[in-house]
């Protein structure tokens, strides 16, 4: 008999509210699927709640198959390659890592991160509509972390293109562009777009924190745009995404 559990993996933060947002989303998923053992594993910065801790806690519940649910924006995150390697799902990591191999007696099933899942697109539609006034006169700028690493940079770009095309079509926006913090494009792109358009800026980040409260606003300083810093969480649909991922795997 197979006993299945779910391990939700997130990056982690020193910001207690950031961590609380993840824990609340997973707790709500537990209420929706009470028969499913669940744990959270943080990549770093949350003592006592590492990825290894999460694996071992599920094994202690008699789980012999673990769904690995990466609560990350995209496979363009180099952290996910490190995590897959540490879990024994990749023989080698193209990314240097300090993660130690995690041994497990359970079968590990890797699930997709958030990417451009329909639930994610619904969240982003709502985020844009909160700031939009006359869509046909507005240009949307998506800002994400991004990567400079070949093979990962392209995945970020594909994600932005997919999200952008969807939002422009669904919401009737004049245009959509994107910029990454890693690419140092935010200031120049935002300035250019704001010259002749009403500019809306949406952060493609899981949770509010240093990047959305400090880094992005500092780059948008003096640029006429609509920005409220709202991220995927604490939207309740993230819990629905966790549950749907479990049901589909």
In the chain, where does DSSP find H-type helix?
16-32, 51-60, 78-86, 118-131, 153-171, 186-194, 210, 216-220, 237-248
Phi, psi angle pair for 39, to nearest 5°: -145, 160
Of the chain, the percentage scoring pLDDT greater than 70 comes to 99
pLDDT tens by residue, 206-223: 999 999 999 999 999 999
**pLDDT for the residue 2:** 67
188 vs 2 pLDDT, higher one:
188
pLDDT at 222: 97
Starting at the edge strand that comes first in sequence, how are the strands of the sheet with 175-180 ordered? 175-180, 138-144, 198-204
pLDDT digits over 34-87, tens only? 999 999 999 999 999 999 999 999 999 999 999 999 999 999 999 999 999 999
For 114-138, the pLDDT digits (tens) are 999 999 999 999 999 999 999 999 9
Q: What is the per-residue pLDDT for 72? A: 98
Task: Find the mean pLDDT for residues 185-214.
Answer: 96
| Whole-angstrom distance, CA of residue 125 vs CA of residue 127 | 5
Average pLDDT, stretch 13-25? 95
Res 141 pLDDT > 70? yes
Instruction: Count the alpha carbons within 13 Å of 193 in the hemisphere toward its beta carbon.
Output: 25
Cβ within 8 Å of residue 116, ≥6 positions away:
159, 162, 163, 166
- For the chain, give the percent of residues with pLDDT over 90: 97
Q: What is the mean pLDDT of the chain?
A: 96
Residue range 200-206: mean pLDDT, rounded: 98
Distance CA 203, CA 51 (A): 26
Each residue's pLDDT tens digit, 172-190: 999 999 999 998 899 999 9
- Alpha carbon distance 151, 165 (integer Å): 22
Read off the pLDDT band of 113 (50, 70, 90): very high
Give the pTM. 0.95
Q: How confident is the model over 198-211, as a mean pLDDT?
A: 97
What are the DSSP calls for 113-181, one per residue? -STT-HHHHHHHHHHHHHH-S-GGGEEEEEEE----STTTHHHHHHHHHHHHHHHHHHHT-SEEEEEET
| Angle, vertex CA 95, rays to CA 90 and CA 101, nearest 5 | 50
């Amino acid at each position: 008999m197979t006993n299945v559990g779910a391990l939700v993996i997130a990056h982690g933060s020193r910001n207690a509210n950031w961590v609380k947002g993840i824990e609340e989303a997973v707790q709500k998923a537990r209420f929706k699927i009470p028969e499913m053992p669940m744990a959270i594993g943080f990549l770093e910065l949350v003592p006592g709640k590492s990825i290894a801790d999460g694996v071992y806690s599920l094994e202690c519940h008699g789980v012999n198959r673990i769904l690995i649910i990466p609560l990350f924006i995209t496979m363009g995150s180099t952290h996910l390659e490190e995590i897959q390697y540490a879990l024994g799902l990749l023989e080698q990591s193209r990314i240097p890592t300090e993660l130690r191999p995690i041994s497990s007696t359970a079968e590990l099933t890797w699930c997709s991160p958030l990417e451009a899942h329909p639930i994610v697109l619904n969240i982003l539609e709502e985020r844009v509509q909160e700031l939009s006034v006359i869509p046909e006169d507005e240009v949307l700028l998506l800002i994400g972390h991004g990567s400079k690493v070949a093979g990962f940079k392209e995945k970020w770009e594909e994600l932005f293109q997919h999200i952008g095309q969807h939002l422009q079509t669904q919401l009737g926006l004049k245009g959509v562009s994107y910029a990454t913090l890693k690419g140092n494009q935010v200031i120049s792109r935002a300035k250019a777009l704001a010259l002749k358009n009403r500019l809306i800026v949406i952060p493609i980040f899981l949770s509010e924190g240093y990047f959305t409260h400090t880094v992005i606003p500092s780059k948008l300083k003096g640029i006429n745009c609509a920005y409220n810093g709202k991220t995927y969480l604490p939207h309740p649909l993230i819990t629905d995404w966790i549950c749907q991922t479990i049901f589909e795997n």
